[in-house]
Structure formats: C-alpha cells, structure tokens
C-alpha cells in the first residue's frame, strides 16, 4: 500500500452528479472510439428483488377446480423487517394486474440506499436487477408461504411478465427501461444460504464476531456452506442466461461473494470477457479475524473473480488486500491508473488482476428531504415537544443487534447522569430498537433490565430518564423524532453504512441543527468528521460527548451541521451509483481486462501436429507440467506427465526440451531416465541435448564476478527479513522471501530491487527479475529466450512448435518465438540470425538460417487465466490441461484422473 492515510473519498469523486455522469459519457465515448463493445446495460445482482410477490388463487377457467398449493409452516423471515430508515426508499404502488394474473407485487423494504442508487442509473442506462424472489406469500393466508418447488413453470413465467409490467412504476420518470429478473431457488437452499450461512457465519464475522459468539447452540461454520455455494451458483447461472456482450455486471454484498468466479466459470471461454464489479456494503474485518473462517480461500477467490472489488472505506479495502496477501499468499501490483485516471491497487491471481478500491454509499438526500415535509410529521413533532417541554431530548434508533451497541449506549447515558448530575430531571433518552436480522431474547432482556435499572435509580414519579420502544416506527413518527432531538446518538460497536445518521442531519436542517454523536467504528464516521466521534466502549468518553453536545453553543452547532449537511447532500446514493459505473468502465482495457488469450483447441493443435514432418516441444516445468506446491522439492511429475513426455519424445520426428529454472540435479533426478528428452537448467545457463549425458555450460565465457556483490546485498536484506534465504546457483543468485511476513517481505523485495537496478544493474551485464516470492539476478545473456533461439536455430526444418510456460521468465520464450513481423503476409518466411547462445559457445562464425515454420504452426501457450498479460497466443488454465493436450497428440488419455490440485496461497519460486 502506498499510504495508510487515504481519504474517505478519492480525488475526482467529490463532484456533482452531473459531472460524474459526464465523466461516464466521456469514458463510454472513448471505449466506443477504440472499438470496445458496450451494450449500455448494467446488470445489478442483489440478494433479493425490491418487490415481494404474492400468489393468489386462480380464477381462470383453465385452473378451475385446481386446489392451491399447500402452504408450508412458517419459516424465519429472510428479510429485515421494515425500519423507519428503510422506508425512505421509494414506495411504488402495487401493480394493477391483468384479469388472468395470479401475482401481486408489493414493495420490499430494506437496502433503501442501494436500491435508490441503482434506480437512479435508469436515467443513463438500461437496467436489469437480478434477485431472489424471496418467500412466495400465499394470497389466501398472508401468514403462510408457498414452497417454491410447487410453483409450476407457467406461474414462474407469469411472474416475469408481471415484473415486466412493473417497469416505470417506481415513482420517478425513467429514460431507460428497468427489468427485474427473478432467481428461483429451492426453499431449503434459499434459507440455508440466507438464514444459515449469511446470518449466522458471515454477518457476525464481518462485524468482528465469530459464529460461536452469537450462536445459541453449537454450530459448525461449514453447516450451511453447501447452500451458500448452490445459491451463488443459481445466481451465476441466471446472470449467464441474460448476459450480452458489453454488459456491465455489479454484484452487491456479502450474500453473493462467490458469484464473480462462478459466473466466469459458467460462461466458459467467454467468461474472461465479462466485466464484473463486486461491492461489499458491510465492513470487512482484519486478516486476523477473517482467517478464522474455514472457507476463507473459497470466498476470497470468489471475490477476486471480479475486475473490481469495492468497499465502503479505504480501511476496509486495506483489510481485504492484507487478507489476500497474508491468507492466500497472493501478491499486490503497485498502484496504477485505470482508464478513468484513478489509482488502484491490484491483487494478482494467476495472471488475472482484480483492482481494489473504495466508494462511500450515501442516501437519497432529495427524497429524504421531501419526506421530512410530510404533513403528518409536524403534529407528532409538536406533541413530543409538549411532552418534554422543559427537557433536552437525546434520540437513538438502532436495530436490536449485538453489534449495534445499544447496551453500551444505555450504560453511557447512565454515566452521563452520574458524572453530570445537573442533567437529572433535565434530559431524557428516547431509544427505539427495531427487530434485527435474528431474534435475540437474551439481548432484549438485558436491554429491558438495564432500562428498568436506570429508571429506578435516577427516575422519580415525575421523571423517567429512559424511554425504550422496541417496535418499528412509522415514517412520520421517525422523522418527527429525528427533527425534535437536541442530540442524536448512534454508537454501534461495528457498522458499515448507517442511514439513520445521515437522515438525522437532513431532518435537523429545518429545526434545531442539533449535533450528532457517532461511533468511530462506523464506516460512515470518516465521512462525517464534524460529528462528535467516540469509542463506544469508553463510557466516560461517550458521556462527555453527550454533555458537550447538549451544552454546545449555537454557533458551533450551526457550523458543524452545515458541514455535515454538505457532505450528506453531496455524496448521495445517486452519486455513489454513478461513480461505481465510472470506476468499472475505467477497468476496461486496463491491466485486469487485458487482451483475452483464447483457449488452445485440441483438434486444431492435433491437425497441425499431424501435418508436420518435424516437431518441436518446449516446456517450462513448475506450474506448467506440474502444479505449484508449497515446498518446491515436492513438485514431482505425475504419472500422466511422465507418460506424455515418454510417448512424445519416443517419436523420432519430435524434439522435446524442458526449459526450466531448476538446477541440473533436480532435472536429472526426476526426468533424467527419459533418454530422448533435452533439458535446459537454470534458465538457460546449462543445457543437455536429447540423447546426451553431458551438460554444456553457457556461462563459462561470461563475466560472473558480479555474483559476490549481489550476494552481499542479498545478505543485508536476509538479516533484516526473518524467514528469507539466499539460493546460490551456478549461473544466478536468488533471494527468497516465501517464508517471511508477506507484506514485509514484499516491501523489502521492492527496496532491494530498487537498490540493485539503480546502483548495480547499469554497471554490470546482469538483469534483475521479480518472481513469485523471490528476486533473482542473472546474466543478460542467459535466459530462456536465448535457449529457445538456439534450439530453433539448430532445428530450422521444424514445421511445428508447441511452447508452454506460466510465469514471467517464460515470456522470454514466447518473445523469442515471435518470428514473423506484424502485418506480414502468411507466405512470409522467417529468417533467424545466430543467437548469442550459439556465438558464445561455438567460436566459429555462424550464418543466418531460413526457418521452415509457418506463422500458424507456432503454438505459444500460457498457463493461467485468459486475461493474464502474456505474449503467448493461446492459453490453458492448469498444468493438467497441458499434459492432457500432450496425451491427446499421441492418442493417449489420462490414466490417473485429475492430478493434485494447486495449493492455493503458495507462490512458486523462479523456476
């Protein structure tokens, strides 16, 4: 990371909505001019649709006499019950149904800011909102639900038609269409996903609680993971069925963390072309908390399938990056500019780079301001004033959830009455708690007991200090309460975005401009620096902030309020949504949407192979013929790999080389028994021709006196980097930091690289290579590219070349095989001058040679993601697929099935 002192919002985002939209149009125009396909559609993927469907009994003749499906027993509701804050979202009217329709749609409350922001994009783009249907309510008994599996295809199609009719009823005029796409899931999967894994595992974890801290009985963290994965796959399949070239896909929140990766897998070879963003609305915990999760690797890999992963705050994005580095062993790319001029840090996952950034969510400030003018508010406001005419009013509204800090707030209010006795009889706390994600009778009892204790200790016949209401307030009551307050206190122990704090600011605009006490552990707190920020665990600090807010001079109140009001009305949900589009457009043609390398088809490879009279095979070893493993010494070839090499090399028309960074001893030990197999060790420093037992040393005529200077520098960094070590080879020297702290090791690596490049490399015939968890220095004349040139030069009559590799050192091989100038005709013959690897060893003069190879017979193949930045023309995803292609060429099939999978999180050395 470049700095730990990043602003809550980035430069360039603190502008008006119209300006952001103009930037979006400019980016789109640039992409169109560059030939990039953009459909003008944005697909938003949310956990559930913003409408709750009800299936009514059929009255049509076709269904006459057919009984309604049986209702299931009540289940724990999957949605958060409506809260005053949530009802600030648009409340569209129910749709008028056609005579034959059996569906009724009613607005589903919750996630108001997100839905408001998404809908605002309808002014500029066509919108598709993909979400679960939710429980299907029965039209006969509203307390009953209908099993989703009992709803036939005709009724499912009818719901889609009903949702299509719903377009344009959202209360705002739209220039573009919004389409709602339902996702159907079996009830067991749907509730195991949401009520199980999301609510009992992920929600607590993302708020710094482990599942056993909130569970009422023992529960394994893996109990509902299968449902979570199946639900995410259902979403991915539904998206794939509607996705068009040029669509932008935004996946929302922790319910759907696997969707980016699963969507790419579902799309197959087209998956690399999808432009996917993931926005996490909750906090993201530190790596030490997240690493407790058994399925941490799967979730992180799912998230990293996106082109852009976005969070509420910079600190959450930093936690995520640190988790990817520490838990998975992935490396970060330096800060770079996207197409929109913004800097992003990326996570490199086998060549696919996922950018990481942050963007704060706001509320629909204009709509909330209109809601505060509702005629029903003023009478309620005056009634509250009359009830507490001579008292200061402190207001709190929270869900009754352990992370919302209601108990701590009540204890802090008690501390206020203890430390500042002048407030006895002069201040009241009105605390409203609404039902939370999960019922907590224990917490509800604790709150009630504490309220009774405070009222008993500090109250009297004519004074009740705490008024607690566990209910969902109506909108008019809620805004009346916010407007009449002398102080707002919102102090959760951990929270992402909190809409109540921003609604408080807008509600106070027309009344008292009262101050606000906020927890510093809220994502929104960095956004609202002029609130009185406190540590909710420090009761004395909170009590002092309450007192300060109550006695604050009018001028200071007004100054703080004006600054907060500007923030809340500038960074709205509409601006947030537009910035997300801008950020995702900025990733197109960036590093993480590089040229997509096509998958190499077996039949095409086989056809070219069969036509050739002489064939050349060039393979890297680690990550190409064998999976990457934790300990390099354990990377032994599988039975399939050995069979493939033996069968291919046995054909006299084939010449096969292993071109590896491994030393001679390792290659001899594991592959030396294959007599017709040629080998190059230490990146081309040594070479053994096929059928020969002796090795040629290409470094004998090269100045190697630089090695001691480099070793001295490496020793300096080894002493200061616990877990690092130096590997001395005959032709190169490598500093490994795989076993050191990942972030410290990477920092030291960059410092060492800078020292070598600026103080040594320009004086000596060497080059510095950054590998995976290592830094290598080698002679300029020794690399895999030079060896490949030598092999091609010695075999000019080759008519087929298959070259495969997986890392940066293998790019030298691919570069050497770029034999034909771009734009040259298919009949152009390639001519090769004698390479350095020939002239250094053979003292006699060598002449240039004409190669028999044609352009379409060179198969340079990168192992990894299709978006990996590479000079190769083709790709395969795994080493197993390389071996599978080799076996296919000789008419064999895999004998052992799937080889050992790659051990995620471990980086290979420069081999």
pLDDT digits (tens, 9 = 90+) for 487-515: 999 999 988 888 899 999 999 998 999 99
Please give the backbone phi and psi of residue 759, each rounded to the nearest 5 degrees, phi first. Answer: -120, -15
CB 702 within 8 A of CB 782: yes
Q: Which tens digits make up the pLDDT trace of 749-777? A: 999 999 999 988 888 888 898 887 889 99
The pLDDT of residue 101 is 67
Mean pLDDT is highest, among 14-23, 32-41, 265-274, for 32-41
Gap between the Cα atoms of 494 and 360, Å rounded: 16
Gap between the Cα atoms of 241 and 191, Å rounded: 24
Gap between the Cα atoms of 889 and 302, Å rounded: 34
Gap between the Cα atoms of 874 and 861, Å rounded: 5
Residues 45-74: what's their mean pLDDT? 63
Task: Please name the helix (run of DSSP H) or strand (run of DSSP E) that holds residue 396, with its range, or none.
Answer: strand 392-399
Mean pLDDT of the chain: 85
Is 606 in a helix, a strand, or coil?
helix
Gap between the Cα atoms of 56 and 137, Å rounded: 9
Q: Say which of 348, 620, 622, 640 is annotated catalytic.
A: 620
The pLDDT of residue 591 is 44
Q: Which tens digits make up the pLDDT trace of 371-401? A: 999 999 999 999 999 999 889 999 999 988 8
520 bridge partner residues: none
Banded pLDDT at 89 (limits 50, 70, 90): very low
Using the predicted structure, report yes or no on whether residue 689 has a pLDDT greater than 80. Answer: yes
Closest CA to 395 of 335, 468, 451, 464: 468
CA distances from 773 to 52, 265, 344 (A): 51, 28, 22
- Residue 71: is it exposed, middle or buried by C-beta count within 10 angstroms (0-12/13-18/19+)? middle
- Give the list of residues 6+ apart from residue 711 with CB closer than 8 angstroms, or none: 726, 728, 733
What region, left, alpha or beta, does residue 171 occupy, with left being phi > 0 and alpha being psi -120 to 50 degrees?
left
Task: Among 151-160, 447-456, 676-685, 697-706, name the one with the lowest average pLDDT.
Answer: 697-706
CA distances from 544 to 235, 419, 494, 522, 550 (A): 49, 9, 21, 19, 10
Reading the block at residue 728, the tokens are 């001395």
The pLDDT of residue 215 is 59
CA distances from 872 to 255, 579, 691 (A): 37, 35, 29
The DSSP bridge pattern shows strands 532-534 and 343-349 to be unpaired
Reading the block at residue 27, the tokens are 């980016």
The pLDDT of residue 68 is 41
118: how many CB neighbours lie within 10 A of its CB? 24
Residues 533-542: what's their mean pLDDT? 95
What does 640-690 look like in DSSP terms, one character per residue? HHHHHHHHHHHSTTEEEEEE-SS-HHHHHHHHTT-TTEEEEEGGGTEEE-T
The pLDDT of residue 699 is 80
Using the predicted structure, report yes or no on whether residue 314 has a pLDDT greater than 50. Answer: yes
Gap between the Cα atoms of 468 and 433, Å rounded: 8
What does 165-203 look like in DSSP terms, one character per residue? HTTT-SSS--SS-EEEEEE---HHHHHIIIIIIIIIIIH
Residues 870-896: what's their mean pLDDT? 89
126 bridge partner residues: 41
Using the predicted structure, report yes or no on whether residue 664 has a pLDDT greater than 60. Answer: yes
Using the predicted structure, report yes or no on whether residue 685 has a pLDDT greater than 90. Answer: no
The pLDDT of residue 323 is 94
Reading the block at residue 651, the tokens are 């054909």
- Residue 5: is it exposed, middle or buried by C-beta count within 10 angstroms (0-12/13-18/19+)? exposed
The pLDDT of residue 8 is 46
What is the Cα 364 distance to its own chain's centre?
25
The pLDDT of residue 896 is 62
Using the predicted structure, report yes or no on whether residue 546 has a pLDDT greater than 70. Answer: yes
Banded pLDDT at 3 (limits 50, 70, 90): very low
Banded pLDDT at 866 (limits 50, 70, 90): confident
Gap between the Cα atoms of 128 and 173, Å rounded: 17
Reading the block at residue 535, the tokens are 């540590």
425 bridge partner residues: none
Task: Please name the helix (run of DSSP H) or strand (run of DSSP E) that holds residue 414, with its range, or none.
Answer: helix 406-419
pTM of the model: 0.79
Gap between the Cα atoms of 410 and 446, Å rounded: 11
The pLDDT of residue 99 is 46
Annotated active-site residue 620? The verdict is yes
Scan for tokens 């198969």, then name that residue: 859
**Share above pLDDT 90 across residues of the chain, in percent, rounded to a whole number:** 53
Q: Which tens digits make up the pLDDT trace of 465-484? A: 999 999 888 889 999 999 99
- Contacts by 333-336 with C-beta closer than 8 Å and gap 24+? 333/591, 335/2, 336/590, 336/591
For residue 444, what is the DSSP state? H
The pLDDT of residue 624 is 92
Mean pLDDT is highest, among 210-219, 283-292, 776-785, 825-834, for 283-292
Using the predicted structure, report yes or no on whether residue 285 has a pLDDT greater than 90. Answer: yes
């Amino acid at each position: 990371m470049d700095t730990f002192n990043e602003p809550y919002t980035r430069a360039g985002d603190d502008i008006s909505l119209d300006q952001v939209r103009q930037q979006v149009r400019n980016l789109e125009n640039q992409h169109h001019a560059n030939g990039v396909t953009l459909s003008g559609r944005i697909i938003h993927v949310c956990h559930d649709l913003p409408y709750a469907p009800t299936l009514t009994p059929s009255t049509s003749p076709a269904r006459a006499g057919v009984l309604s499906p049986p209702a299931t027993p009540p289940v724990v509701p999957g949605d958060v019950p409506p809260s005053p804050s949530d009802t600030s979202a648009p409340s569209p009217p129910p749709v008028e149904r056609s005579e034959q329709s059996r569906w009724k749609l009613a607005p589903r409350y919750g996630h108001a800011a997100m839905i408001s922001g998404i809908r605002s994009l309808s002014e500029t783009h066509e919108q598709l909102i993909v979400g679960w249907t939710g429980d299907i309510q029965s039209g006969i008994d509203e307390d009953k639900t209908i099993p989703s599996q009992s709803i036939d295809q005709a009724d499912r199609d009818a719901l889609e038609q009903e949702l299509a009719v719903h377009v344009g009823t959202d209360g705002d005029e739209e220039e573009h269409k919004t389409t709602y796409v339902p996702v159907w899931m079996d009830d067991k999967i749907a509730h195991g996903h949401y009520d199980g894994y999301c609510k009992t595992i992920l929600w607590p974890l993302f708020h710094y609680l482990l599942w056993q801290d909130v569970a009422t009985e023992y529960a394994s963290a893996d109990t509902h993971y299968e449902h979570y994965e199946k639900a995410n796959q259902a979403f991915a399949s539904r998206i794939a069925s509607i996705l068009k070239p040029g669509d932008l896909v935004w996946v929302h929140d922790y319910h759907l963390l696997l969707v980016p990766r699963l969507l790419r897998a579902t799309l197959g070879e087209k998956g690399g072309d999808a432009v996917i963003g993931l926005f996490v609305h909750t906090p993201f915990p530190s790596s030490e908390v997240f690493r407790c999760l058994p399925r941490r690797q799967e979730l992180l890999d799912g998230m990293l399938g996106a082109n852009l992963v976005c969070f509420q705050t910079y600190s959450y994005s930093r936690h995520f990056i640190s988790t990817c580095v520490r838990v998975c062993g992935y490396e970060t790319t330096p800060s770079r500019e996207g197409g929109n001029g913004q800097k992003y840090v990326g996570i490199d996952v086998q060549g696919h780079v996922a950018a990481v950034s942050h963007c704060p969510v706001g509320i629909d400030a204009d709509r909330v301001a209109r809601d505060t003018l509702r005629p029903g508010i003023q009478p309620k406001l005056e009634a509250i004033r009359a009830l507490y005419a001579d008292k200061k009013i402190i207001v709190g509204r929270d869900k009754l959830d352990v992370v919302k800090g209601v108990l701590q707030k009540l204890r802090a209010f008690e501390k206020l009455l203890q430390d500042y006795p002048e407030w006895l009889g002069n201040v009241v706390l009105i605390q409203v708690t609404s039902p939370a994600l999960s019922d907590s009778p224990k917490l509800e009892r604790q709150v009630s007991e504490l309220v009774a204790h405070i009222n008993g200790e500090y109250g009297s016949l004519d004074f009740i200090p705490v008024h607690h209401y566990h209910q969902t307030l109506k909108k008019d009551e809620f805004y009346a309460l916010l407007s009449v307050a002398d102080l707002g206190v919102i102090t959760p122990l951990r929270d992402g975005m909190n809409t109540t704090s921003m609604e408080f600011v807008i509600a106070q605009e027309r009344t008292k401009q009262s101050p606000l006490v906020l927890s510093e552990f809220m994502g929104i707190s960095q956004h609202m620096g002029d609130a009185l920020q406190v540590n909710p665990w420090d009761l004395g600090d909170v009590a002092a902030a309450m007192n300060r807010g109550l006695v604050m001079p009018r001028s200071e109140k007004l100054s703080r309020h004006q600054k907060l009001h500007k923030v809340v009305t500038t960074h709205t949900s509409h601006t947030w949504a537009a910035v997300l589009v801008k950020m995702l457009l900025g990733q197109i043609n960036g590093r993480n949407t590089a040229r997509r390398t096509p998958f190499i088809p077996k039949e095409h490879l086989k056809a070219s192979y069969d036509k050739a009279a002489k064939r050349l095979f060039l393979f890297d070893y680690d990550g190409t013929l064998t999976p990457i493993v934790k300990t390099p010494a354990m990377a032994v070839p599988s039975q399939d790999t050995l069979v493939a090499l033996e069968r291919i090399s046995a054909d006299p028309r084939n010449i096969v080389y292993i071109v590896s960074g491994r030393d001679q001893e390792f290659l001899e030990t594991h592959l030396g028994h294959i007599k017709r197999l040629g080998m190059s060790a230490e990146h081309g420093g040594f070479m053994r021709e096929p059928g020969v037992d002796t090795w040629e040393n290409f470094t004998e005529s090269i100045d190697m006196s630089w090695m001691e200077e480099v070793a001295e520098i490496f020793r300096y960094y080894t002493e200061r980097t616990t877990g690092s070590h130096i590997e001395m080879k005959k032709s190169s020297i490598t500093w490994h930091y795989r076993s050191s702290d990942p972030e410290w090791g990477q920092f030291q690596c960059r410092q060492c690289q800078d020292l070598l490049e600026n103080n040594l490399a320009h004086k000596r015939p060497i080059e510095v290579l950054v590998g995976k968890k290592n830094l290598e220095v080698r002679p300029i004349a020794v690399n895999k590219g030079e060896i490949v040139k030598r092999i091609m030069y010695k075999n000019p009559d080759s008519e087929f070349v298959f070259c495969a590799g997986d890392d940066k050192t293998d790019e030298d091989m691919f570069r050497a095989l770029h034999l034909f100038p771009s734009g040259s005709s298919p009949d152009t013959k390639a001519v090769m001058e004698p390479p350095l690897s020939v002239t250094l060893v053979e003292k006699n003069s060598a002449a240039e040679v004409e190669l028999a190879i044609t352009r379409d017979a060179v198969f340079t193949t990168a192992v990894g993601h299709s978006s990996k930045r590479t000079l190769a023309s083709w790709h395969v995803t795994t080493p197993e697929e390389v071996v599978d292609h080799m076996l296919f060429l000789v008419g064999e099939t895999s004998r052992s099935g799937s080889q050992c999978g790659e051990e995620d999180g471990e980086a290979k050395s420069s081999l």
